[in-house]
Chain A
Amino acid sequence: MSLQVIENATCTFCGCVCDDIQLHHDDMRIHKANHACVLGTAWFLNHTAEKKYPVALVDGREATLDEAIEAAATHLHAADMPLVYGMSNTTCEAQKQCVALADQLGGLLDSHTSL
């Protein structure tokens, strides 16, 4: 099967955020990441579209996405002082949702920067 090519893809592994990566991929995985460095190549090649993990785990058991979302909402809603933390390996769009989450919970909001 011939591979599809994406020109000028963006690598988010380190703060350089190189936006000149040429990705050769099929439906399942990326086979080649031209221009990327060793770290970037490992980052692109190690993630696949396989279903390696369960969609969600609730109390250690496999659960559906809907159940997990409801469980998460219930725990966060019940808490007096919930903490929203991380946001390094995610998109700005998701980060904005995280700010909204901490805001409506009246909770704490923090990132890697504080470490």
Chain B
Amino acid sequence: MGGKVTCTLGEVKQRADFIIYWGGNPAECHPRHFTKYTIMQKSRFLPRGRKDRTMVLVDIRETKSAKAADIFLQIRPGKDFELITILRALIKGQPVADEQIAETGLSRAVVDDLIARMKRAKFGCMFFGMGLSMTRGKHMNSAALLCLAAEMNAFTKFVAMPMRGHGNVTGADVIMRWQTGFPFGISFNRGYPRYNPGEFSTVDVLVRGDCDAAFIIGADPGATMPQPAIDHLARIPTIVLDPHVTHTSRIARVHITTAPQGIAAPGTAYRMDELPMPLKPALKSPYPSDEEVVRRINEAIARKPFWLPDGRQPQMVATLG
């Protein structure tokens, strides 16, 4: 997601007086988000803390996060894109029919009030979760919300940020973008990186049976992916690196136990606002780190003859070592 209108969580903490959570449940999934970065903090610009900030929650059901919100907007499932598009039209004063607004599950009065508040804000921030980016519309929803954030800047300062979960997924995006130019769904089979989610994304590749070996690190597709994908992993040689023997390890040909990041393995992890944080491991693990094992596998492969006519390895972007 390059080019998005965003900021760091530090800026949100200092300045954001209007916060929207869209399709996320921070109270249960990111428990310290409220207290550390968003609504609870007092700052020089918002000295009264919670009283100076307004929080809106947009979701299809009333989660625990609704308790923390000033305004909870319950919308119909699968109507996120419609609502974002209506907001984009209304902020510019374009006409929208009542039926179109009603279809999202909200009334015109509620939507008008939301827009008035958004425009009145000094610094607005929209956090969007998997309820937006993983439901009908998927990345089109995220793209629409990022557009809305950009367009709101005609009236006031507005930004948007994805609520990333799952440990260091943000780091994976950043590292792949840095090394290949693309954040995920990459193929090197022509010797240079190509990007095409849907064709090169893992679930699709596995369900179609397109790969003939799999190297799985820091993930457990055996517990999370659809059954046809798991069946394919069991069919082909699968290699797993994980601190635990996982579901995937049980169907794998090779499992290597590694030290858990941040607890026994040092390194760097990215926060959801793309700030790199150093890890401070407390324990000494009897197992090697992921980094060491992948490096040694890389070295072992580099020693083998390759399929290029002169026996070379096609190393295009990333460097070994």
Contacts and interface: CB of A to CB of B under 8 A. Distances in A.
Interface string A66-89: 001111110111111111111111
B7 interface: no
B300 A37 contact: no
Interface stretch (B40-48, B150-158, B202-210): B202-210
A107 B242 CA distance: 21
A82 B172 contact: no
A56 B277 contact: no
Contacts of A96: 175, 179, 318
A1 interface: no
Interface in B203-244: 203, 205-206, 210-219, 221, 224, 236-237, 239, 241-244
A4 B283 CA distance: 10
Contacts of A19: 277
Given A49-B283, A100-B318, A110-B202, A88 B197 contact: no
B201 interface: yes
A6 B284 CA distance: 14
Contacts, number: 355
Listed residue (B168, B193, B221) with the most chain A CB atoms within 10 angstroms of its CB: B168
Nearest to B179: A99
Given A47-B260, A91-B168, A108 B186 contact: yes
Q: Interface majority SS on A: helix, strand, loop or mixed?
A: mixed
Classify chain B's interface size.
35 or more
B205 A9 contact: no
Interface string B183-196: 11111110101000
Interface stretch (B51-59, B70-78, B118-126, B291-299): B291-299
A25 B168 contact: no
Classify chain A's interface size.
35 or more
A97 interface: yes
Given A76-B213, A90-B217, A114-B197, A101 B294 contact: yes
Nearest to B197: A114
Contact of B219 (A13, A18, A112): A112
Nearest to A90: B218
Interface of A: 4, 6, 8-19, 23, 25, 27-30, 37-40, 43-44, 47-51, 53-59, 65, 68-73, 75-115
Pairs A-B, 3 closest by C-beta atoms = A91-B267, A86-B219, A79-B213
26 contacts: A12-B262, A15-B170, A17-B271, A30-B283, A47-B264, A59-B254, A68-B255, A70-B300, A75-B239, A75-B253, A82-B211, A83-B213, A85-B217, A85-B219, A85-B221, A88-B172, A91-B269, A92-B171, A94-B261, A96-B179, A99-B317, A103-B314, A104-B302, A109-B180, A114-B185, A114-B202
